Amino acid sequence: MSVLRPLDKLPSLNTATILLVGTEDALLQQLVDSMLKEDCTSELKVHLAKSLPLPSSVNPPRIDLIVFVVNLHSKYSLQNTEESLHHVDASFFLGKVCFLATGAGRESHCSIHQHTVVKLVHTYQSPLLYCDLEVPCSWVPTSLSLLTWLAQGLSEWPGSQASAALTDG
Amino acid sequence: MDSYDASESTPRQSTSLRPEDYFIGATFLQKRLESVRKQTSFIPTPPRRKIPHCSQLQEDVDPQKVAFLLHKQWTLYSLTPLYKFSYSNLKEYSRLLNAFIVAEKQKGLAVEVGEDFNVKVIFSTVLGIKGTQRDPEAFLVQILSKSQLPSENREGKVLWTGWFCCIFGDSLLETVSEDFTCLPLFLANGAESNTAIIGTWFQKTFDCYFSPLAINAFNLSWMAAMWTACKMDHYVATTEFLWSVPCSPQSLDISYAIHPEDAKAIWDSVHKTPGEVTQEEVDLFMDCLYSHFHRHFKIHLSATRLVRVSTSVASAHTDGKIKILCHKYLIGVLAHLTELAIFQIE
């Protein structure tokens, strides 16, 4: 029963944690580096996972935002995301989950139709961001969008002090 | 309600969870749910929920007349509607294009060693290559070499062939005015330099635009499913797939060949509605192949990119190259390609 629940752990002081779930290691690493370079007055922690459930040896802190990364060039990444979604508690979908679809720019390489991802995202009532992680200039706007969403999600949940600090940054 | 069960249940059920189930307090969660529901509740429809099976021929296509279209590799382009094109002026167009080609070649733009400048251009219509009566007639452009000796046959060797067609192009035909002729699919066989020259002439004369039509992996898997679904009396080729694995320094290719009858058996086991092909069936068909491969080789083909599909009906490459092998399903294949071309134009 390894389901991620948003209120399992106590919030840490002035810290926000993002969990990125996706199969594209190299691309995600670039995005993470870009996010950590952003100016935040409070501490930002980013965890990377290939899929959920997280291995039992890993003990992450309280997760404030889960970002599922779907690569439109790879059906495998969509299947991986769909399986990982089953291990997330339903209450996460009230503002703490975000989907990132990469690769829409190169239409000739797409293995998945965009509507498949849109339908999935609509089913989970969560936002969808399009980006192209293979293009370096998209990393900064994508990181900013994710951080904005993180701040918004945090501000709606009581007991999190990190939200105000993030939006100042 | 155990919250673990809630996440396992179908998504539709999870949205019906009442916020009172949570200990936090209903107010801000209720507001959040309301705001989410107010967001656009537009569920996008799939690109192709049902597609007619490609075994129906609208008109009887004479196999003899279209034999020259089969077994040749064609490069695909999408073409915007032609302005003030007339089928009665084909002889005039032949003359003009001939002069243009000779002029271009003499300019030294496409000079090759030993090239024959004595060429003849022929425009002709190809009857029967259309989906409905509304579709414009397909026409053909051929560049033939003029034979030097008068004793030889008048018809020289065909150097380059290109043909324009429109199969079930209703969605495009409805949007353009009378002055335009819609032939969104262009297929070319022959030297690339000739394709470029012909393309330039058409663009200048009819104010249209050619663009190469690439076929992405999503559409290739649709083609694989639809072509496997076609009933064949006898199979002339094995069903073959080619995937490109993205890795450095050079990409690897994985080739997977199946006996066509086995492929048809897999398709028949996933196919439910007769006469229609749905997205789920295509995904299931491909998943069968992927899981079989994974069981043997522990490689996830779904993480790679499908670049080539080859069946007894036709074969297609992601770069926009097609070869049609079966005249019975010619119209069906062209209809699908026309749809892709129209999608690219719009």
| Chain A CB contacts of B216 below 8 Å | 107-111
Look-up of token digits 């939006």? A167
> pLDDT of B221-280, one tens digit each?
999 999 998 888 888 889 999 999 877 778 789 999 999 999 999 999 998 887 788 888
Shortest alpha-carbon distance between residue A169 and chain B (Å): 25
* pLDDT bucket at B23, cuts 50 / 70 / 90: very low
Under 8 Å CB pairs connecting chains A and B tally to 89
Tokens of B245: 């694995």
Closest partner residue to B7 among A79, A90, A125, by Cβ? A90
Shortest alpha-carbon distance between residue B276 and chain A (Å): 19
Is A108 within 8 Å of B45 when comparing Cβ atoms? no
Is A89 within 8 Å of B218 when comparing Cβ atoms? no
Q: What is the largest CA-CA distance in chain B?
A: 98
Closest partner residue to A111 among B3, B33, B305, by Cβ? B305
Closest partner residue to A91 among B11, B22, B215, by Cβ? B22
Residue of B nearest to A23 (CA): B303
pLDDT recorded at residue A68: 94
> pLDDT of A77-115, one tens digit each?
999 999 999 998 888 888 889 999 998 888 888 888 888
Parallel/antiparallel/unpaired status of strands B321-324 and B73-79: antiparallel
* pLDDT bucket at B202, cuts 50 / 70 / 90: very high
Shortest alpha-carbon distance between residue B216 and chain A (Å): 4
pLDDT recorded at residue B116: 53
What is the pLDDT of chain B when averaged over all its residues? 80
| Chain A CB contacts of B6 below 8 Å | 89-90
Indicate the pTM of the whole model. Answer: 0.80
3 state SS of A19:
strand
pLDDT recorded at residue B41: 43
Parallel/antiparallel/unpaired status of strands A15-21 and A43-49: parallel
For residue B103, the tally of other CB atoms under 10 A from its CB is 11
* pLDDT bucket at B176, cuts 50 / 70 / 90: confident
Residue B291 pLDDT greater than 90, yes or no: yes
CA B225 to chain centroid: 13
Is A90 within 8 Å of B14 when comparing Cβ atoms? yes
Closest partner residue to B7 among A23, A89, A119, by Cβ? A89
Contact of B17 with chain A, judged by CB distance below 8 Å, is answered with yes
Residues of chain A with pLDDT under 50: 1, 161, 163-165, 167-169
Return the closest-CA partner of residue B197 out of B118, B125, B103, B122: B103
Residue of A nearest to B11 (CA): A123
| CA–CA dist B80, B208 (Å, integer) | 5
> pLDDT of B44-71, one tens digit each?
444 554 444 444 444 556 677 788 888 9
Is B214 within 8 Å of A74 when comparing Cβ atoms? no
Sign for the CA dihedral angle at B291, B293, B298, B301 comes to negative
| CA–CA dist B163, B147 (Å, integer) | 23
Contact of B218 with chain A, judged by CB distance below 8 Å, is answered with yes
Look-up of token digits 């409805």? B174
CA B208 to chain centroid: 20
Please list, in sequence order, all residues whose beta carbon lies within 8 angstroms of the beta carbon of residue B326, skipping any fewer than 6 positions away. B70, B230, B232, B236, B312, B313, B314
Best A24, A73, A108 residue to mutate vs chain B (most B CBs within 10 Å) = A108
Residue B205 pLDDT greater than 90, yes or no: yes
3 state SS of B225:
helix
Residue B26 pLDDT greater than 70, yes or no: no
Is B302 within 8 Å of A111 when comparing Cβ atoms? yes
Residue of B nearest to A152 (CA): B32
Chain A residues within 8 Å of chain B (Cβ atoms): 1, 3, 5, 23, 73-77, 79, 86-91, 93-95, 107-113, 115-116, 118-119, 122-125, 156, 158
* pLDDT bucket at B153, cuts 50 / 70 / 90: low
Could you list the beta-strand ranges (E) of chain B: 73-79, 82-83, 119-126, 138-145, 158-165, 180-181, 185-189, 210-212, 239-245, 252-258, 305-310, 314-317, 321-324
pLDDT recorded at residue A133: 87
Instruction: Tell me which of A61 and B155 has the higher pLDDT.
Output: A61
pLDDT recorded at residue B9: 36
Identify the top-confidence range among B17-31, B114-128, B316-330: B316-330
B:92-111 residues touching chain A, CB 8 A cutoff: none
> pLDDT of B156-166, one tens digit each?
788 899 999 99
Kindly report the CA angle at A11 between A44 and A98, in degrees rounded to 5? 55
Q: Which amino acid, B106?
A: Q
- This complex has an ipTM of 0.80
